Structure 1
Amino acid sequence: MKKGKRAVCCILSLLLAVSFVACAKSGGDSEKKEADVADNVRSTTVPKSDKSGEGSGKNDKEEAPAKISILLSGDNTPSADNLVLKELGKRTNTIIDMTYVPGSDLKTKKSTLAASGTLPDIFGTDGDEALEFREGGLLAEVGDLVEQYAPNVLDNVGENLSKSPVNEDGIYMILTAKLPYCKQLNLRTDWLANLKMDMPTDPDSLYDVLYAFTFKDPDGNGKNDTFGLCANADPLSFASVFGAYNIPVGKAIELGDGTVTSWVKHPKFLEAMAYINKLNRDGLIEPEWATVPQMDMFSKLWNGVAGGIEWECVG
């Protein structure tokens, strides 16, 4: 399989959270801008040879990582060594420069960047703004690249792409679903490194990590002053634990007989609760968790009391 994937389309195919576009950066009239950006999108990587030449050490060309800038709404711009961005960059052979702008300032920021010809490679847009950018030659037409390198986009929203007035004569904007943030269990990787432990992958290995965070001095200060997990009384504090048992916290479920009912009636609900009870009984959860206010729960992590927390880590 050839590996000459086009970086922008690869990123667009993974970032299905808002309506995304790839932009043009050159000056001149709109037709020139569209042509230039299309060429830019096509030349973001240097293709390797076909499969027959792989592994031989001959005729292969190194793929140079493409530098991709992304603008999103938010207030938590991630650091350059953010694990999620590094993995996304690894999978798409890109170096990602992600910038967040407060929602109230986003439209003004994009207008300023558009006026100066410095819009990022990928950003969210919709409505009249998207039409203005397209008519001004600021958006790339990427239909052929989406079809070739992002079939999952077509599988998800393909039939709706042409319904947008922005895409009446091509694909300039990728339509996406409005998805809520999801909870995930976040663990201190520096503590894992100190203890020479790997990231847990199942309930048993998670227990081992939380036990070590509690009893094996993960911060190296010689004191017994840490806990594995900080939480509060919200069931979402244990969403990942329930998820390990295929239980969607707070959602309706369908039982084997077709009955739709509450998530607490899942066949494995008691098994999941027994696991949480074990964590609590063995002292692996910060002891004030049942009564602690939410911001105080966060402080347990920020102040080095606990090594894990379930939250919406959107940055």
Structure 2
Amino acid sequence: MRKLTATAVILILIMGLSGCRAGGGLPEDIGDQSVPGRSAWNGEKYDPPITLTRVVKHNTYSTTFRDNEDWDDNVFTRWLEDTLGMKTETLWAIPEENHAFSKKLLLSISRGEALPDIVSYRGSYETMMQLMESGRFMPVDELFDKYANDIWKEAAASYPQMWENVTIGGKKYALPLLDYTMNTEPVLWIREDWLEKLDLDPPETIEDLERIMEAFTYLDPDGNGKDDTYGLAVTLRENLNAWMTDLSWLFGAYGAVNSQWNKVGDRLEYGSVQPAAKQALGKLSEWMKKGYIARDASTWDEVKASELFTTGKAGIIAGPHWLPDWPFPKLKSYAPEAKYRAFPVPAGPEGKRGVRAGSPAPTNGVILINKDSEHPEAFLHYYNYLMEHYANPAEGSPFEYGFAKGYDYDLINGKLVKDNPQFISPMDYSLSYEGARIPELMINTLVKLATEEPTTPFEQQVKAKRRPEEIEAASIVMDYDRQGIRYHNWYSGRSLGIAKSRSSLLVQMEREAFNKIIYGQLPVDAFDQFVEQWRQAGGDELTEQVNNAYQLSKNER
């Protein structure tokens, strides 16, 4: 309760210090070339150039710089100025470990400090809500209607749910960044060389998988004579359905994906309080007791947990089709002989299968625009350009082979090369994470490349970069879709009333109960008591509010 009270005080401070933008409309002089001394967009770029300020949450695992480059002087920022007349000024850059980026951003708001022109945010919904409700960022409805190009608008129209989490009082307070569809669903990545060595068949059922984990744990699959391998790499620290080391498939094998709102008939039900969750927790408890899972798993995040697989100490990891792109290349340095392959998730005792599929709208982050920015339209010009020229480039486009020669591609004897481990992505320095994406393009391309040769520049880039194992894995994910076993999270928006104040308590209750059951500190039957406590602590009210909000949004669509 002390944590809840502190959160409330912070939110009050944010609102009190920041105020709200009256009306929330666009500044009248946007693009008005009659305003003396004002840079204007001439249809191609700003002349003279403008400066956009930003803050950066960087990835300490993958973001690197070449030579003397930095956040404001690199191959991306030079392109941005030369092509679109936009300079960047990075006020600060910080990693997100221990939520450092989010905390610093909220602290800046609570102190009434100057904010950047744009904030690229990817993180918890609760923090995003605090940012949007702070009064420091402007509604984007008119900006989007006036400046977004047809490609962007058509993609947004296909996924109207993308606006739900950024809408407050009927106004949209952030621009969702489109992501690829079917980009999070887990497949089972298994050490194929270990299967061959131990003469094991791929798993069809949970029972089959348990036999494989037993062998991987106790039959010395790496041949070093030590008892130092595990069946499955997972994190048990915060989110069991992490973006890699995912466990949603185990819950789905019993009929309900955990920690999300699943559609049951015409209602939404929270997966973690369904009987299926009790069965899955029982299995996890067994696997922990038998040593298939490392006992340190509750102290690791998903990246640390994945290292059990990439250092050759675990034989199975569940995650997206693109893991061969990162972080699997690390495995070869530890086990040069290693072979891995993707397999469909196994079926439960009644033949059920299921995996998490995220939100029905494919997004991966948002852009918030400072209400005091002199050029709030600038980001839209930038994203328009990337949607038109970078997301699916045409032949002869500046991005036909990639963003920048020597950075993310090379041409050697006329052949496109994109899989050099020394390459870095200029989009690591961009205003919008991966740049711009057309939702269905990647999964459709990967599935096509499983049986056909590439014909477009995008397809040629994918073929040059993506490994055969990923192309095979993407076809498995597409099969999930055909089989109807992708479980969308049908509600991730905010809760109202008393359930809002208790939602973090409910999440904490779930984490504590699940971990104690998995580690054997509580019997599996303690799940029933957890469910009853969850319902009484606001879970029933939350369920009704979620369903009311879901029905309302469905009617509005």
TM-score, length of structure 1 as denominator length: 0.42
TM-score, length of structure 2 as denominator length: 0.25
